[in-house]
Amino acid sequence: MPKIPTFTAQGRPTADAPGVVSNIQISPTSTVAASLLPAAEKTSKYFIKQRDNTEKLEAKKIALEIKAEGDKIIQSQKNNPNEEEAINIYKQEFKPIFEQKISTIKNRRVKKLVEQAIDLENSESIYHLKTNSFKAYEKESTKVFNDEMAIGVNNYKATDNPILKVKYKTDLKDKAEKFNKEHMLGANDLKKRFEAIDTVLLLTDADSFIGLPNAEKQIANLDSSLKGETFLSNEDFNKSIYNSYESKINSLAVEGDPNADYDEAIRLINELENFKRYNGNKVVSGTIEKSFAQLKEKVLGESIRHEDKVTKIQQGNNFFEYSEGQKKIMELTFFNQFDASINKAANREKAFEAGQEFDQRIDAYVLANPDATYAEQQEYARDLRMNIIDKYQDIEIEKVTAFNLTSNKFNVTREADAVFELKKQYDADPSQPNTLKTLAKLNGFVDEKGNPDVGALLNVYIPILQDREKN
């Protein structure tokens, strides 16, 4: 038989993978993996940059939130003129806000960025605080200065003592000089302030002279002594003098005012029309001429009507007093607390109703007769008193309703039988006193001569009485 060949291993078992051992060296850059290294490095840098940008954005947002709170504090100190105080308040209020916000940031890099941003902002905030304080100081200082000037001018205006006037003027200029130095405004500013003071005081004195004898001469002398035209132009001088005269004239010329003085107002009109400055400049000139013409026309026109209006007003006052007296007499006819026969509640009520009617009829008469003389007014008030007494005499208060001049003239209701009896008496002798004549006259039922028309009254009155009885 053929023999099967066998193989016997000569070496020992090993864990090494089978392979071929070689001494050939391979470059790390020549492999596929190695070619990916630059891309990996680039990707890593991109993610780092993205992270940084994200953190910077977050830090900016947080810093802006903190800054917004800081700006609120700065705004609250905007009008604080005390720089040191404003800065201290800012620091005290801002610190806890900043610390609270920072404590919530977990990312150390973001926290550091926020701290850096706020450090920069703090410098700017302090600058704004200082700027605002200075502006506030300037504003407050200017207000105080202006108030001091106003008080000084008022003091100057209120005194006639020449010594005090000099003192007040000196004080005003001293304050102006101190203000100028304090704010370092320069020589030109101080010059303008002095001129402004001289202008105001000159015009103040001029205003006080208007209405006095020789006012024009006194103003001219003062203007000349101060060399007024060097600091006050003719145009400004004219406007001020005109306004002062106009104000004085208008205060005197009040149409209808018993205290008005149109004679003095017209005198001042004429004085103003011819007023000249010491340098020959005429006040009423240019655009002022038109205003002056209107003022003159107004005053002259009012003066013509004034006396009549004053007379009417005085007459009205006198008539009011007279009619009130007549009303009082009438009311005492119906009620008198010292007369046991007419001091009852019913009497008081009748007096009240009669008084109400008296007032309404007086008011209607005055409106309807604006040109009535005082004598005519007195006569009407007397007749009205007696007519209302006749109307309400011997009538029960229960039969008196509220009087209305337009809707209820017949506010006293009499029995129809009584009215017919009064008519019988009237027909028998129309010349005798009769309540129907009173009612007719009160309610406008009169003939062409003004005599009571009883027939016309009854044509209206009787149906009203009958209707009232029916209802």
Tell me the domain boundaries of the chain. 49-159, 305-399, 414-471
Q: What is the dihedral of CA 300, 306, 308, 313, to 10 degrees?
A: 170
Going by C-alpha positions, the residue among 167, 174, 222 that lies closest to residue 199 is 222
The two tokens of residue 9 are: 């291993």
- The Cβ-side half-sphere exposure at 91, using a 13 Å CA radius, reads 9
The two tokens of residue 40 are: 């990996």
Cα separation, 341 vs 334, whole angstroms:
10
Q: Please name the residue that has the structure tokens 């020959």.
A: 280
pTM reported for the whole predicted model: 0.51
Q: For residue 271, what is the enclosing H or E element?
A: helix 262-273
pLDDT tens for each residue of the chain, 471 residues long: 445 454 444 555 554 445 445 455 555 555 555 555 566 666 667 777 788 788 888 888 888 888 888 888 888 887 888 888 888 898 888 889 888 888 888 888 888 888 888 887 787 888 888 888 878 888 888 899 999 999 999 999 989 898 999 999 999 999 999 999 988 899 999 999 999 999 999 999 999 999 998 999 999 999 999 999 999 999 999 999 999 999 999 999 998 888 899 999 999 999 999 999 999 999 999 999 999 999 999 999 998 888 888 888 889 999 999 999 999 999 999 999 898 888 999 999 999 999 999 999 999 999 999 889 999 999 999 999 999 999 998 888 888 888 888 878 888 888 888 888 999 999 999 999 888 998 888 888 988 888 899 999 999 888 888 877 776
**Residue length of the chain:** 471
| Environment class of 137 (CB within 10 Å of its CB; exposed 0-12, middle 13-18, buried 19+) | middle
Going by C-alpha positions, the residue among 365, 357, 427, 360 that lies closest to residue 389 is 357
Whole-number CA gyration radius for the chain: 53
